[in-house]
Structure 1
Amino acid sequence: MEALRKFWQRYFTYNWKFGVFLILLFGIPRFILILQANMSGKYNFAFIVFFLMWFAPLVFLTKQGRKAMLLKRPNQYIRLLYSFVVGGAACIVIFAFFSLLFGHSLSNAFAYIGRLGAIPADLSASDKWIYFLIAATPSMFFSPIGEEFLYRGVVHGSFVGRFGELRASYLDGLAFALTHLAHFGIIYNLGSWHFLPLPALLWVLSMFAVSQVFFRCKLMCDSIWGAVFSHAGFNFVMMYLIFYWL
């Protein structure tokens, strides 16, 4: 079975080197754009990178390659709901962990990410709900589809031949976790950049752990959509906690 489209076969074999190429191809501009967005408050270009990730399976993989990454219907649709709930539960655990250690300070990843959203303090309940929906909706589509298609899909598949399913999940999870340092760990505050060593380490470990949750939801559903729904559940609960608990 040939996983890569003919055009890409001129330059690559579908192996770990190709996976590293994709990690750098998408990860470097995404990292830079997120840092710039954290400073400017404008995330338009960052969302474009996530949107481009949506098409990674179509651009790089053949039909057989997409099937191998489990881009297909789930074995049971109810398991997509389970995946959503599991992702949300994982978010609650990480939120509780950071809140216990750091309270509402900027060393709390959720507090920092929420601060970047600049939620007005004097919103009525109905207006706050509208703001929440506006914030939660793109966070449930752009990054879950894009990141899962890329990391748990195309990149994961490139590592499987050399490392096997489990170790491949560790490698794509590590890449996923490290790129989230742009979201938290390297922070912009009061006109300057700061690196928070311990919070950053805990954040990367948390993102690695949650990547394993997404991977197992993919396996449970026998479909990449299990990972997407779990990721969407995580982001939905994260936005809810930021809006209503911080």
Structure 2
Amino acid sequence: MKNEYLNRIWRNRIEFNWILGIILILAVGIPRFIVVMNAYVTGNFYSVFFVFLALWFLPFLFLSYKGLRFIGFKKPDRKLWLILALLTGAGMSSVVYIMGEWLYGDSVRNWFVYISRSNGASGSIEDAQRLIFFLISAVMSMTFSPIGEELFYRGLIHGAFQVDFGHLKASYVDSLAFALTHLAHFGIIYNNQSWNFFFIPALLWVTLMFLVSRVFFFFKQKSGSVAGAILCHAGFNFAMMYFIFYYIL
């Protein structure tokens, strides 16, 4: 029964279960970790976008039509929840920003300050160009990572664990995997040509990403579609770009 969720080419080769979920988490998470950390060293983040783009296609590579519907790739049942998801995502991002500012100010221990380096801009950006840079970054951050990560974590990974452990336990696993992989974005920090690990900021960041993931899952459930998670994630990233370009840079 479970293997009906897999594409025909995989049905006699692998099982759609928690073991496949673990394999996919490691097979995607480890290379992504390396690519992101290398991007902070080189300043070239184009490869990171290709990683997110690859995540778009993994569910379609592994799953059948029935499997795609099983993980939530379908029309939303309750469209009002999509609007609430977008707004809630922006609200959560605001809380994360305020916490970072309150605890760490403009130091690299502040997650949004450190992440702002990925935009390739600086604090000297001219006001005339600020809106252009913001819009470009906002569009990219609202598409590449929300679609890719939610199809992968709240979709494919969640589904692989769901068939064995149910929705709730599966949601804890996909949230934890999502949170830990974001250590590459903040926590293990490259600053002044050296690597540092700030334990308390990193722990706070991972905890925040775990909680954010729980909300993404909530809106997937309420909307009846992974689109709810995608839009909540997109709202989070939009607000993050806004704070970066209008309050940090």
Please report the TM-score for the alignment, with normalisation by the length of structure 2.
0.95
Q: Which residue of 1 aligns with 2:121?
A: 119
Kindly state the Cα deviation for residue 26 of structure 1 after the two structures are TM-superposed: 1.2
Q: Which residue of 1 aligns with 2:102?
A: 100
Paired residue type of 1:114: S
Kindly state the Cα deviation for residue 117 of structure 1 after the two structures are TM-superposed: 2.5
Q: Which residue of 1 aligns with 2:30?
A: 28
Structure 1 window deviating more from structure 2 (144-153 vs 130-139): it is 130-139
**Secondary structure at 2:123's aligned position in 1?**
coil
Q: Which residue of 2 aligns with 1:231?
A: 233
Q: Which residue of 2 aligns with 1:211?
A: 213
Q: Distance in 2 between matches of 1:22 and 1:6?
A: 18
Q: Distance in 2 between matches of 1:222 and 1:231?
A: 16
Q: Which residue of 2 aligns with 1:146?
A: 148
**Secondary structure at 2:128's aligned position in 1?**
helix
Q: Distance in 2 between matches of 1:116 and 1:225?
A: 26
Contact 1:56/1:150, CA 8 A, preserved across alignment:
yes
**Secondary structure at 2:36's aligned position in 1?**
helix
Contact 2:45/2:118, CA 8 A, preserved across alignment:
no
**Secondary structure at 2:78's aligned position in 1?**
coil
Kindly state the Cα deviation for residue 91 of structure 1 after the two structures are TM-superposed: 0.8
Q: Which of 137, 140, 152 in structure 1 is aligned with 2:139?
A: 137
Q: Within the alignment, does 1:173 sit opposite 2:202 as a pair? A: no
Kindly state the Cα deviation for residue 101 of structure 1 after the two structures are TM-superposed: 1.1
Any gaps of 5 or more consecutive residues in structure 1?
A: none
Structure 1 window deviating more from structure 2 (66-75 vs 1-10): it is 1-10
Listed one character per residue, the Cα deviations across residues 30-62 of structure 1 (whole Å, up to 9, x for unaligned) are: 110000001111111111111011011210001
Aligned length: 246
Structure 1 window deviating more from structure 2 (72-81 vs 128-137): it is 72-81
Kindly state the Cα deviation for residue 125 of structure 1 after the two structures are TM-superposed: 2.6
**Secondary structure at 1:55's aligned position in 2?**
helix
Structure 1 window deviating more from structure 2 (98-107 vs 152-161): it is 98-107
Kindly state the Cα deviation for residue 191 of structure 1 after the two structures are TM-superposed: 0.7
TM-aligned CA distance change 1:241 to 1:151, over 3 Å? same
Q: Which residue of 1 aligns with 2:80?
A: 78
Give the alignment's Cα RMSD to 1 decimal. Answer: 1.2
Paired residue type of 2:45: Y
Q: Distance in 1 between matches of 2:67 and 2:197?
A: 39
Structure 1 window deviating more from structure 2 (225-234 vs 119-128): it is 119-128
**Secondary structure at 1:13's aligned position in 2?**
coil
TM-aligned CA distance change 1:59 to 1:142, over 3 Å? same
Listed one character per residue, the Cα deviations across residues 113-141 of structure 1 (whole Å, up to 9, x for unaligned) are: 11343423333333100011111111111
Contact 2:78/2:222, CA 8 A, preserved across alignment:
no
Q: Which residue of 2 aligns with 1:50?
A: 52
Q: Distance in 2 between matches of 1:159 and 1:30?
A: 21
Kindly state the Cα deviation for residue 162 of structure 1 after the two structures are TM-superposed: 2.1
Paired residue type of 2:195: W
Percent sequence identity over aligned pairs: 47
**Secondary structure at 1:188's aligned position in 2?**
strand
Kindly state the Cα deviation for residue 235 of structure 1 after the two structures are TM-superposed: 0.4
